[in-house]
Amino acid sequence: MKGTTMTLALAVAAALVCLASAQNITECPDGFEDFGDGTAVGPCLYFVRSKATWSNHRSLCQALGADLAQVTGDLHQDVVDYINDQPADDLADEAFWIGGSDANKEGSWIWVMDDTAIPLGTPHWYPCNGQPNGGTTQNHLSLYSPDFYYHSLEQTKQIFAICQIFE
């Protein structure tokens, strides 16, 4: 009897492991776009088409099991291409909160979901007006129209947002 119970427990555990891994690899949840390279699913991004502050949109992302997006590396260009490829009046005239901040220490930009540093300068920051340029009044990170490079903004600004699911 004890052996049967053990076997059943292992079977249940194995089923749960399979279920969890299947959820991770089969597809992005409804509303999330798959920015994978075709060999794997993800990053999964959700474009929030309503305007709110950085903090309110971060809460919304977290309610979806996500966080504000970490748009870096090649993903940055992929996101810019995606925004510009959408139908007219959808996304290309908007600005988007993403998950960067220097609120804790002026000039030291970090990704808030994992505390990793965000290097200044090229290739991600908008180069033409010295971004980030707002000093202590602008401590949160956006992709701003029409270039969608990184721009610092006041966190009370009401704009769209991009959420991302982190494993």
Residue 151 as a binder of Ca ion (CB under 5 A): the answer is: no
- Residue 5 or 129: which CB sits closer to Ca ion? 129
Choice from 139, 142, 155, 164 touching Ca ion (CB under 5 A): 139
Output the six-digit token pair for 109.
């930009």
Cα-to-chain-centroid distance, residue 24: 17
Residue 67 as a binder of Ca ion (CB under 5 A): the answer is: no
Q: Using CA atoms, how far apart are residues 54 and 140, in angstroms rounded to an integer?
A: 7
Stretch that binds Ca ion, among 73-81, 83-91, 133-141, 154-162 (CB under 5 A): 133-141
Stretch that binds Ca ion, among 62-70, 71-79, 89-97, 135-143 (CB under 5 A): 135-143
Q: What is the contact surface with Ca ion in residues (CB under 5 A)?
A: 102, 139
